[in-house]
Structure 1
Amino acid sequence: MTVSIANLAYDDGDIDTNVSANPHIDELIASRYSRRQTLRGGLSAMTAAVFGGMLLTGCDDDDDNGPDPVTVDAGSAVATSAGRLVTLTGTTVGGATGTGWSQVSGPSVTIANAATSTASFTAPGVTTATPLVFRFSATNSAGTASTADATVTVSPAVLGFTAVPKSLADVVAVPDGYAVTVLYRLGDPIASGVAAYANNGTDTNFAQRAGDHHDGMSYFGLSASASTPDPTNSSRGLLVMNHENISEQYLHVNGVTAGSARLESEAIKEIESHGVSVIEVSRTSASGTWSYNQSSALNRRVTPNTPVSFSGPVRGNAVLRTRYSTDGTAGRGTINNCANGTMPWHTYLTCEENWAGYFRRASGDAALRTAGGRGKENASLTRYGIREGNAGNYGWSTVVPADTTSTIYARWNASVIAGTVTDGTTDFSHEPFQLGWVVEIDPFDPASTPRKRTALGRMNHEGCEIGRTIAGVKPAFYMGDDAQNEYLYKFVSATPWSAADATATNRLAIGDKYLDAGTLYVAKMNADGSGQWLPLVFGQNGLTSSNATYAFADQADVLVNTRLAADILGATKMDRPEWTAVNPATGEMYVTLTNNSSRTAANVDAPNPRAYTDPKVDGRSAGNGNVNGHVIRLREAGDTSEATAFAWDIYAFGAGSDLSPTNINLSGLDATNDFSSPDGLWFGLNSNATGQGTPVMWIETDDGAYTDVTNCMLLAAIPGTVGDGGTRAVTSTLGGVTNTVTTRIGKAPGTTLRRFLVGPKQCEITGIHSTPDGRSLFVNIQHPGEGGNASAISSNWPANQTGTAAPTSRPRSATIVITRTDGGLVGL
């Protein structure tokens, strides 16, 4: 009831008597939203989850008559390690019209599905725990933005798989969570109209089929136009690989036909099965299966019969003149190609290794050379293992060809033909000097002529690995000479690196620029862990025309006879220097020393400190020498490729885990990582986390010593750095002699070295490369079942990789692709 009283000073509800400064509720609401948005914009509501974990959800029940700002939340902080997949899940309350993630700080990463509430990225490689901050944003219908930040702390990489046990089974074994695809096998056709491989010895035309003994290998991303490089393409590319040798017993119907002269039909098959393949490969989707394109216009075989040209200081030299190339500027093909090199200007280096064994040299040849004024060639041929009486590995020079004008078989007879011109232009007595080189191939131009880069020297080239390229600094190329007691080499280009050359269209011209002029060095290692690069330069350090051991005529003579020059300089004899690999983060160079049966207790030294007896459990005789090999590493002085001094230590020693930890198993290997005879070696690419921060190194084995216990294998490692261990006195006792040397050993690998793959029977694991994203790893399986023959097949791989194979299925060297079933980076 309302009572009306005149002149009343107070009326029920109608009079405002509150004169305080307290705000109205609508002011409170407006102020509250404004304050919340201000706080929210600066919020560090720490991160996401790893491997799909969800972030925390926020809520906001406030309401008014206008469009509400969206409430967002990014969850709580988490930690992960390099190479792991991280999922960022933002949550909203309110009417969000747009959401997205962006990076605020830390090493830059690529965010997948960034314009959604659920995004992801792969943690980058780092050397210490590193925070990465990401911002989640949402807008309402009025365009008002709300944000929240998430922090992911990334630690250095760790190996992310359980070690594969040793095995003698006839299959490729990989860790749980990984898949194997057989991609490219001996005999697979690489041109339209070439029939599928019958694999019974009747197949022909190996110039248009996959060769045998798949070895060193590189992947090159291919552009959408399918004619130029795209170094970011991980789903389509060119795979280039070496075919080192042959398992001749499986190439023919009943093995090799006996006789004093080889059948031409068999010899041509064997010759063409050597060399190099270039094939186009692709993956249909991120989770699809890899395959090769049989009809690609870029497919190519480079065989021992393919025309090649010479470049560099030895081009046109008298020792390169043959009946085929009377001016010494051209040659035919490449053979016994083992390891390789991948150039930043998108070419492929293939390296000629055990080429000397293919040549016949008749008794009395030395006298004919001397009589013809070529006596100095005898010292060279002997030093490279081409001695009188050699018949040639496969007897190709005995073929009587149907085409009497053909010289593709006669070239394998390196003997001087009596009564002919003595300068080598009427026979093939100079043919051995045409081999032993590094050969550059442009995989994107199938019509291009491969070039032999003579400035890099002539030897049993195992590989040629380029170091880090830094603008303005001359790049270095590291090479091993794969034979017992041979040397380690480095070539430093005369030209400083220019980043613009990585995208040049005339790729072989860029090879001319960096590979045809420079200084070739050989390594000398000292007992105190230091070392020097000794220049192999005519006129210096005894490399002169007056040298009593070998009289060098000029720099071309030094390069043709690299071994003789290195002998004179006093280089350090090593236990078969094989593959070289450069850590993309530190620039340190690693080299595998496979083994050395001629290493004795009397001649051990600091970089090759072991000589011992290695027992067998399968009845075979024990091995002697440095039976299991080791991996050594170098760090250039000043961390520059131009250095002439370095420090060294031994990263790891191969050994059975049951052998003496005092003098043999010096790296403390156990059942998860013991290995023997390291051969292939490669670091992950710096385009993904496997090659960043603390990169992953892959070690492949070519072993006969440990095959009583396990087939050959692939191991993954995250190595430390030169000098992270200490010195060790190692005592060798062999043949009644005892000797102790002090060496330098890196920190024990422990769990940072782990067995990733074991191959099928009697194989070698060799050749390795990956896609730029690190999610597909290509590996070669060489000569499975090499101990058998057509009538006693000792392996059925790869036919049995995914099921039971017919017992008559012959083994085939093949390339496999390894992927993770969850799509992650291989190894991490």
Structure 2
Amino acid sequence: MTDLVPANGYTDGDVDTNDSCVPSLESLAAERFSRRQTLLGGAGASAMAFLGTSVLAACGPDDANNAPVVTAGQNAATSAGRVVTLTGNASDEHGIKSTAWSQTSGPDVELVGTGYTVTFIAPGVDAPTDLVFAFRATDRFGKSSTATTTVRVSPAVLGFAAAPKNLNDIVTVPAGYSVTVMTRVGDPIAAGVSAYANNGTDTDFARRIGDHGDALIFFGLDSAGARDDTSSARGLMVQNHENLSDQYLHPGNPSPSPRPQAEAIKEIEAHGVSVTEYRDSGDRTWSYVQDSGFNRRITPNTPMTLKGPAAGSAMMVTAYSPDGTAGRGTINNCANGLTDWATYLTCEENWAGYFGRDASDATARTARELTALARYGVTSTTGNYGWSSVASADTTFTRWNASVIGASASADFRNEPNQYGWVVEIDPYDPASAPRKRTALGRMGHEGAFLRTVEGRKVGVYMGDDARREYLYKYVSNATWDPADADATDRLGVGDKYLDDGALYVARFNADGTGEWLPLTFGQVPNRAASGSFPEYVFADQADILINARLAADAVGATPMDRPEWTAGNPVTGEIYLTLTNNNASNRPLNGTDAANPRHYGDPKLSGSTSFGNPQGHIIRLRETGGDTAATTFAWDIYLFGADSADADSNVNISGLAANNDFSSPDGLWFSRTSNPAGQGKPLLWIQTDDGAMTDRSNCMMLAALPGTVGDGGAVTITNRDSTGATAQQATIAGAPATAASLRRFLVGPVECEITGVDTTPDGRTLFVGIQHPGERGTPTAPSSNWPDSQSGSVAATVRPRSAIVAITKDDGGIIAL
């Protein structure tokens, strides 16, 4: 907090000594307090309020020739996002009737408070900027005086002491911040649903918060319950539910196959997405509304509409949708995206493992089908949780068997895997709306979908495919962005306009710091070459290319990346950031590096073994040519390299990380909202980790960064080393080294968690963070974490952990992290 200390000037004023009139109580009080201004500041005004302003009248207006003496405090300097206090001072022998602060120049700010003291939050600026304020005092005779003060605001800086690495079972944040646990696994979000017992006996997850909360977004509501993008006191929290800690979901460990129906339905319903109303009861005191009419669970059983070029394809036909235009549900929802028209994009990531195929299914498939199934990993004979083993003919369970069983595709679920792997658009404000799967954006292991709009240009959506040696994609709409569409009431209809008709591209990164977007358009994509035991793949049409986007990306020669995860865009520069979480030696060997994925090294693990490859990951960024979302070329560099500062040499710790900002395996990535100073001027970037390489030193974490721009560093040559001691040189392009001023650890999570999901209220004064799967390696009787119960103190060792969202606020009410 920045306080402006008032300049206390002493004055006797102009005391009336005419003994022909009895002096008023007010003038006596004013004289008394004027002699004590140095100590008491504005106490005279308080005294006047106590004594009243009409106890006795003075003799007449001739006794009030002098205006009040006022000061507005000393000039001061601060930085964007800080809370600034203005304190005025006034004295008058006749008493002060009123005081007021106003702003006379500079970017507009909201002055909070009345009387002598007001506060405001310093606005976002990209250069030092002066704000001038006037303090005016008026006495009981109407005489006024004004004084001014100037506050110089500089661009944002990180304003907290770095959180230390630790292995504690709590969410650790810097001093001056507070943590509130919000919605947790199993919390009821409908009237009449019982509180969560957290002992494995709970049911009805279609009306409870799901498991493994992942990416999240806050959608504002006004007091009447209508969409309000500026509201920071009421809103809808939309969160993905990626997976399960199934050992805690049931009374004991889950039963083996054949799976009991009750266990299977609980596991199915615990996946998907939740919509929950959050409210601030005042001063950022947050809670959720269990019986809100907006609350909703979207699960693998929720009806969906298929949209875009692949809808209606023969490859989408199932027993549920004989015409291939509808489907059920969404699963393994990881990262997300936000549209300008206030809808939520949820991304289906590791969906392939949920499907099983009978051992005999291979003989019933064509070579093309087998190639596609293998390329996406639909190769299990049981599926992740064995749901198809439930002894029931209910398609809720049988659809997880992707084998050829019937006489045609409309008689079984052989094509059910083709209905997953999409970006799904949800209208959080309309609980009755059916989500829409946007097939024009391609089918893959979607991690995130960052959407960028520029007036008069095409809409761009940037997407990572989260698997080792997969690709970065971009979708470009055919329609140009019209800002009027941001306020449309038919929000999913706007999605139809921009997300169903466009072109899909995949990235190729060149060694010289340039790159190309390669179109995945039928007629421009060659046949995918034969590989291994699989023959050449010939694409039939555009639907085939979109359903098998990985095969199309292979065919055009895209650059395989080190697990492309979240995408985010700098709202000021337009540059796009992509987290590359990690890779191992089999996928990134010594002779398999390239400029965009340049490291191969060994990292010591807690067990004493060493993991080789790129175990700590990096973050790459790109700048579109001309800043145009439709550009087909770009420039790139590597913004940051993950490393443990305690044991990494200069060939690993290329970004110069230190104890206050080292990290490993970047995953979540998000720039602050432009509606507050953290997203203006030099926007704040949040980085979250899903780490396995540095967990001997610290739980997973979140860092705050103030990044530069593509090209702020330079060429680097790395000496890589494998497990035999052999070395190889790799040239790359690195961004400017990190410093404590540009990168700092803000949060450390509880034991065995992943930090994933981040957003703020529009005003930037409440930060929401997802804590996923704490204690993931524990057992039902011996959990390895007791969070979130442990956040508030010691708890019984048998208390089961739960994924949850936390709300983090700054104790002085300022912008988070600044």
Correspondence list, 1:259-408, <5 A? 260-288=257-285, 290-370=286-366, 375-387=367-379, 389-401=380-392, 404=393, 406-408=394-396
1:194-252 Cα offsets, whole Å, 9 max, x none, are 111111111111101111000000001112112x2111111111000000000111111
2:746 is matched with which residue? Answer: 756
Deviations 1:768-794 (A, max 9, x none): 111111111111111111111112221
- Confirm or deny that 1:679 pairs with 2:667: yes
Computed over aligned residues only, the root mean square deviation of the Cα atoms, in angstroms, reads: 2.0
Report whether the alignment pairs 1:817 with 2:807. Answer: yes
Which digits, 9 at most, give the CA deviation of each residue in 1:46-69, with x for residues without a partner? xxx923633555858358545533
Cα gap change, 1:643/1:70 in structure 2, threshold over 3 Å: closer, same or farther?
A: farther
Segment of structure 1 superposing worse, 475-484 or 635-644: 635-644
1:461-519 CA-partner distances (Å, limit 9, x unpaired):
0011112x332122211110000011111111222222222221111111111111112
**Matching residue of 2:56:** none
SS in 2 for 1:276: strand
Give the alignment partner of residue 563 of structure 1, picking from 529, 550, 558.
550
Secondary structure of residue in 2 paired with 1:425: helix
Equivalent residue, structure 2, for 1:414:
402
Q: 1:560 to 1:103 in 2, by over 3 A?
A: same
- Distance in structure 2 (CA, Å) of the matches to 1:789 and 1:52: 55
1:9-67 deviation digits (Å, cap 9, x = unpaired) = xxxxxxxxxxxxxxxxxxxxxxxxxxxxxxxxxxxxxxxx9236335558583585455
The correspondence for 1:801, drawn from 791, 804, 815, is 791
Is 1:109 the counterpart of 2:109? The answer is yes
Does 1:223 find its partner at 2:260? no
| 3-state DSSP of counterpart to 1:824 | coil
Equivalent position to 2:629, from 622, 641, 648:
641
The amino acid of 2:662's aligned partner reads D
Give, in whole Å, the separation in 1 of the partners of 2:99 and 2:592.
70
Contact 1:543–1:558 (8 Å) recurs in 2 = no
How far residue 725 of structure 1 moved from its aligned partner, in angstroms, is 1.0
Instruction: Give aligned pairs, total.
Output: 763
User: Given that residues 58 and 91 in structure 1 are in contact (C-alpha distance below 8 angstroms), is that contact kept between their aligned partners in structure 2?
Assistant: no
Shift of 1:678: 0.5
Write the distance in 1 (CA, Å) between the matches of 2:772 and 2:659: 24
- The secondary structure found in structure 2 opposite 1:409 is helix
Kept after mapping to 2: 8 A contact 1:58/1:72: no
Structure-1 separation of matches of 2:229 and 2:240: 21
Amino acid aligned to 1:656: D
Match of 2:2 among 47, 50, 62: 50
Give the 5 Å matches for 1:387-536. Answer: 387=379, 389-401=380-392, 404=393, 406-417=394-405, 420-422=406-408, 424-467=409-452, 469-536=453-520
Query: 1:154 & 1:655 partners in 2: Cα distance?
Result: 34
Shift of the 385–93 alpha-carbon distance from structure 1 to 2, 3 Å rule, reads same
- Which amino acid counterpart does residue 169 of structure 2 have in structure 1? D
Residue type matched to 1:518 in 2?
A: G
Alignment pair present for 1:596 and 2:583: yes
Q: Indicate the residue corresponding to 2:595 in structure 1.
A: 606
Determine if the alignment matches structure 1 residue 70 to structure 2 residue 22. no
Look up the equivalent residue of 1:772 and give its one-letter code. P
Moved more, 440-449 or 651-660: 651-660
Is the CA contact (8 Å cut-off) linking 1:661 and 1:668 kept in structure 2? Answer: no
CA distance in 2, matches of 1:322, 1:771: 42
Change (3 A) 1:293 1:146: same
C-alpha separation between the residues in 1 aligned to 2:815 and 2:597?
Answer: 35
Partners of 1:545 and 1:452 in 2: CA distance: 29
1:208 matched residue in structure 2:
207
Deviations 1:161-192 (A, max 9, x none): 11111111211111111111111111111111
Q: Which residue of 2 aligns with 1:166?
A: 165
Determine if the alignment matches structure 1 residue 551 to structure 2 residue 538. yes
CA contact (8 A) 2:186 2:196 kept: yes
d(CA) in 1 for partners of 2:527, 2:678: 43
**Offset at 1:147?**
3.1
Q: What is the CA-CA distance between 1:391 and the residue it aligns to? A: 2.0
Q: Which residue of 1 aligns with 2:34?
A: none
Aligned mate of 1:717, from 683, 700, 705: 705
* CA displacement 1:543-573 (0-9 Å, x = unmatched): 6999983222221111111111111111111
Is it true that 1:789 corresponds to 2:779 in the alignment? yes
Deviation at 1:134? 2.3
Distance 2:525 2:416 in 1: 29
For structure 2, the residue ranges without an aligned partner over 5 or more in a row are 16-61
- Tell me, yes or no, if structure 1 residue 615 matches structure 2 residue 604: yes
How many angstroms apart in 2 are the aligned matches of 1:697 and 1:720?
Answer: 11
Taking the aligned partners of 2:649 and 2:716, their CA distance within structure 1 comes to 12
One-letter amino acid of the structure 2 residue matched with residue 421 of structure 1: A
Q: Distance in 2 between matches of 1:612 and 1:545?
A: 31
Say which SS state the counterpart of residue 800 (structure 1) adopts: helix
Aligned counterparts, 1:65-104, within 5 A: 65-94=63-92, 96-104=96-104
Which amino acid is 2:769 matched to? V
Q: Whole-Å Cα distance in 1 between the matches of residues 460 and 98 of structure 2?
A: 51
Q: What amino acid sits opposite 1:265 in the alignment?
A: A
Cα pair distance change 1:395/1:544, threshold 3 Å: closer
Aligned mates of 1:391, 1:99 — CA distance in 2 = 75
Instruction: Check 1:56–1:330 CA distance in 2 against 1; reply closer, same or farther (3 A cut).
Output: farther
The runs of at least 4 consecutive aligned structure 1 residues that moved more than 6 Å come to 543-548
Amino acid at match of 1:739: A
- For 2:317 and 2:611, the matched residues in 1 are separated by 43
AA paired with 2:478?
A
Q: Secondary structure at the match of 1:494?
A: strand
- Give yes or no for the alignment of 1:248 onto 2:246: yes
Stretch moving more, 323-332 or 61-70: 61-70
| 2:239 alignment partner, SS class | strand
Q: Distance in 2 between matches of 1:702 and 1:203?
A: 29
Query: Tell me, which stretches of 5 or more residues in structure 1 are unaligned?
Result: 1-48
What per-residue deviation string (whole Å, max 9, x for no partner) do you get for residues 660-690 of structure 1? Answer: 4421011111111111111011111111111
* Offset from partner CA, 1:751-780 (integer Å, 9 cap, x none): 121111111111111111111111111111
Tell me, yes or no, if the aligned pair for 1:191 and 1:296 is still in contact at 8 Å: yes
Which is worse superposed, 184-193 or 126-135? Answer: 126-135
Contact kept? 2:250, 2:263, Cα under 8 Å: yes
Instruction: Measure, in 2, the Cα distance between the counterparts of 1:464 and 1:657.
Output: 32
Counterpart pick for 1:663 among 640, 651, 657:
651
8 Å contact from structure 1 (residues 67, 141) kept in 2: no
TM-score when scaled to structure 2? 0.90
What amino acid is the match of 2:750? Answer: P
CA contact (8 A) 1:67 1:140 kept: no
Question: By how many angstroms is 1:131 displaced?
Answer: 1.6
Give me the whole-angstrom Cα distance separating, in 2, the residues matched to 1:721 and 1:410.
51
Structure 1 residues 69 and 549, CA gap change in structure 2 (3 angstroms): farther
Partner of 1:5: none
Q: 2-side partners of 1:515 and 1:72: how far apart?
A: 60
Distance, in Å, in 2 between the alignment partners of 1:340 and 1:691 is 19
User: Is the CA contact 2:456–2:480 (under 8 Å) kept in the aligned structure 1?
Assistant: yes
Asked if 1 retains the 8 angstrom alpha-carbon contact of 2:319 and 2:413, the reply is yes
Displacement of 1:98 after TM fit? Answer: 3.9
Tell me the distance in 1 between the aligned counterparts of 2:68 and 2:243: 67
